[in-house]
Structure 1
Amino acid sequence: MIRIFNLFCKLKEIKISDQEWFDQAVRSLNLSDHSCPYCNSKGHLILHDVYPRYMVTLKNNGPVTVILRVPRVKCISCGHTHALLPEMLIPYSSYSLRFVLTVLEAYFLHVHTVEKICERYQIVHSTLYTFRSLFLSHKRLILGVLDDAQEKGSDFIGKIDGMQLSQFWDSFRHSFLQAYHASDFHHR
């Protein structure tokens, strides 16, 4: 997988929908800027295919599922193919980054009970707690233990920007809020 980071403002300031964000990222893609994650050769990626992917996102403060056409590229140097995933997509998850952060913000601000949050966003309790667990562990990685203890989750959500997402990827070769996936093991 190749991650595309192109919006470096705070995520809260992005006024376009996740669908528009995705489309914009794919349209503005310059393959010569990216290296193959397998062989590290630069300038050898060509468009290969697309595949459909479901994304649960928000529309009018409620969940909606859209189908995206995720481009795949092939490295002509080593022959490996890779999906191109813009920053609003969490690898191996159906939920958009903004959807997860909105759910977590409601949770951390105690806007509603867990039951009401799950009902409103049409998720089960275990999904909410998985979001929370990943968020807290990744927040700790970004801030370090001392700063993490002093920063409330809801405040941190308001400060997250594309630069942090990109730095998280560069530092850990793992996306923010991405759960461990067995196929990631060989890249570590």
Structure 2
Amino acid sequence: MIRIFNLFCKLKNIKLSDQEWFDRAIAKLNLSEQVCPYCDSKGQMILHDSYSRYMITLKANHIKTEILQIPRVKCASCGHTHAVLPEILIPYTSYSIRFILTVLKDYFLRTHTVEKICEMYQIAHATLYAFRDLFFSHKKLILGALNDAQKKQSDFIAEIDGQLLFQFWKSFRFSFLQADHASDFHHL
């Protein structure tokens, strides 16, 4: 998998819809700059194929399911293929990162009951708690135990930007809010 990180402002400041964010990221994709995650060859990627994927997102405060075409590239050097995912997408889940962060923001700010949040976002209680637990775990990873204890969850969500998403990926080799090897989101 090749991750694209190209929007480095705070996520809450991005005025694009998640669909527009995805489309722009794919349109800006420069294959000559991509490095093969398997053999480390640079500039050897060629478009190979694509596949359909769902993205659950919010548009004008309504839940929307978009069908995206995810490009796959092939390394001319080693022959391995890789999906190309912009930072809006979390591997192995259909929910966009902004969808999950919006749900969590409401949860942490206690704007509604858990029951109401689950009803509003059409998710199961178990899904909300899976989001919450993953968030706690990843927040602690990126901030460290001491800073994690001092930073309110809602403040951390407000500060999340593309730089943090990129730094998380670079440091841990999986995406922020990506469940461990997809096992936690198989039931969602």
Q: Say yes or no: TM over 0.5.
A: yes
Please give the per-residue CA displacement for 1:144-172, whole angstroms capped at 9, x wherever unaligned: 10010011111000000000100100000
1:186 paired residue number: none
Cα deviation for residue 50 of structure 1 reads 0.9
Q: State yes or no: 1:130 paired with 2:130.
A: yes
Equivalence map 1:22-61=2 (5 Å): 22-61=22-61
- AA aligned to 1:110 is R
Cα deviation for residue 79 of structure 1 reads 0.5
- How many residue pairs get aligned? The number is 183
Please give the per-residue CA displacement for 1:108-149, whole angstroms capped at 9, x wherever unaligned: 000000000000000000000000011111000111100100
Please give the per-residue CA displacement for 1:65-85, whole angstroms capped at 9, x wherever unaligned: 000001000001111000000
Cα deviation for residue 182 of structure 1 reads 6.5
Q: Is the 8 A contact 2:72 2:84 kept in 1?
A: yes
Q: How far apart, CA to CA, are the structure 2 residues paired with 1:60 and 1:118? A: 18
Q: How far apart, CA to CA, are the structure 1 residues paired with 2:182 and 2:127? A: 19
Structure 1 gaps, min length 5: 184-188
Q: How far apart, CA to CA, are the structure 2 residues paired with 1:132 and 1:182? A: 16
Q: Is the 8 A contact 2:92 2:182 kept in 1?
A: no
TM-score (norm 1): 0.96
Q: How far apart, CA to CA, are the structure 2 residues paired with 1:28 and 1:89? A: 16
Q: State yes or no: 1:146 paired with 2:146.
A: yes
Cα deviation for residue 62 of structure 1 reads 2.1
Q: How far apart, CA to CA, are the structure 2 residues paired with 1:69 and 1:85? A: 10
- AA aligned to 2:9 is C
Quote the sequence identity (%): 72
1:4 paired residue number: 4
Q: How far apart, CA to CA, are the structure 1 residues paired with 2:60 and 2:12? A: 15
Residues 56 and 182 of structure 1, relative CA distance in 2, 3 Å threshold: closer
- AA aligned to 2:74 is K
Q: How far apart, CA to CA, are the structure 2 residues paired with 1:71 and 1:37? A: 16
